[in-house]
Amino acid sequence: MQKDISGQMAGNKTGNSTRGAQDRDPILRVTDLSVFFREGKKRHCLVDRVSFSVAQGECLGILGESGSGKSMTCKAVLGLLDKNFDVTGSSIFDGGELVGASPEKLRRLRGSSISVVLQNPMSCFDPLYRIGDQMEETIAEHMNLSSRTMLSMMIDILTLMRIRDPKDVLRKYPHQLSGGMLQRIMIGLAISLDPVLIIADEPTTAIDSISQYSIMNEFVRIKHGGDVAMIFISHDLGVLSLIADKVMVMHNGRAVESGGVKEVFDNSKDEYTSHLISQHKAVMKRFLAAIHARARQGVQA
Ligand SMILES: Nc1ncnc2c1ncn2[C@@H]1O[C@H](COP(=O)(O)OP(=O)(O)OP(=O)(O)O)[C@@H](O)[C@H]1O
Ligand SMILES: [Mg+2]
């Protein structure tokens, strides 16, 4: 039995409405979501009453330092946490409650209308099966294609994700590919199968900067298409300002600030958010100064 990579990837539309972008109801509304980790008799709170929502055509960015609870929040929403964790609060997706829903219902949703790109791509592939077989199984859950069309779709996905020798890659096993390549395959599948909601957890961290740029462009293109709701987790304020309409900043498991991306980045009220933003600006200033210095040297040479 192959691992259920479709559960981590893309799906079909649930036929949501086609109303104007501004007045859409959220497709996902999360209220007071908390995550606790049980260790013996102790119970650690990892996510503390976090609330957010995202509508069709909208992108929510989640920002925060390592360990702040970004991945835990998304895994809790998706039902990807095991029995050592307790999740409380509410998460309504397309009218149905996800907190406390059966693993089967959650698996079906992840395999149909919600696409997930996880931080650790290796965990989403079965080491025993070739990439092509795993991609085929995922696509076949959504579309009924002839084997020739299936092959050309898989090649198109890999080409879109800037993977060279796609035919060769389809014959490989996961351990024969880099983490960045696996991440790109996940992203390619996630965005090609027409989901209602994409949750992307630091989707481009393992990818080189040139591919990162083109893959970010793909995410932005899909977002501008207006059909998909997106949650995009990133450490990178530059990336978030490119794609997100609104952001939630997390610190120690709590949402310390939320709002429109410009409002938060230009006028943050929270001390921690201001610290993150000033750090980012300082790094960008040094980076630009270094680029200008090199350009000047180039002119003098
Ligand atoms: N499997 C686990 N069991 C117990 N605690 C965990 C587990 N995974 C993460 N945690 C803890 O949960 C908290 C939140 O972790 P989380 O993975 O959500 O952070 P993050 O914001 O996604 O960080 P990063 O930016 O490094 O991915 C951290 O304190 C972390 O140590
Ligand atoms: Mg994480």
CATH of 5-269, one of 3.30.2320.50, 3.90.420.10, 3.40.50.300, 3.90.950.10: 3.40.50.300
Measured between alpha carbons, how far is 224 from 245 in angstroms, rounded to an integer? 11
Predicted pLDDT of residue 15: 38
Domain extents for the chain? 5-269, 272-301
pLDDT category at 19 given cuts 50, 70, 90 is: very low
Region of poorest pLDDT, from 45-54, 79-88, 142-151, 285-294: 285-294
Distance of alpha carbon 277 from alpha carbon 261, whole angstroms: 12
Give the residue whose CA is nearest to atom 26 of ligand 1: 66
Helix (H, G, I), strand (E, B) or coil at 58: coil
Contacts of 193 (CB under 8 A, 6+ apart): 9, 10, 11, 12, 115, 138, 139, 142, 143
pLDDT score recorded for residue 157: 94
Q: Enter the pTM of the model.
A: 0.84
* Residue scoring higher pLDDT (273 or 175): 175
Per-residue pLDDT band at 58 (split at 50, 70, 90): very high
Ligand 1 pocket test target in 33, 45, 46, 252 with most atoms within 8 Å of CB: 46
Is a pLDDT exceeding 60 seen at residue 294?
A: yes
93 phi-psi bin (left φ>0, alpha ψ -120 to 50, beta other): beta
Q: What is the pLDDT of residue 164?
A: 92
Side-by-side strand order, sheet with 96-97:
42-55, 26-39, 85-93, 96-97
46 CA distance to ligand 1 middle (Å):
8
Instruction: For CA atoms 94, 96, 99, 104, give the dihedral sign.
Output: negative
- The average pLDDT across 234-238 equals 84
Angle at 63 between CA 35 and CA 215, to 5 degrees: 115
Ligand 1 atom nearest to CA at 65: 25
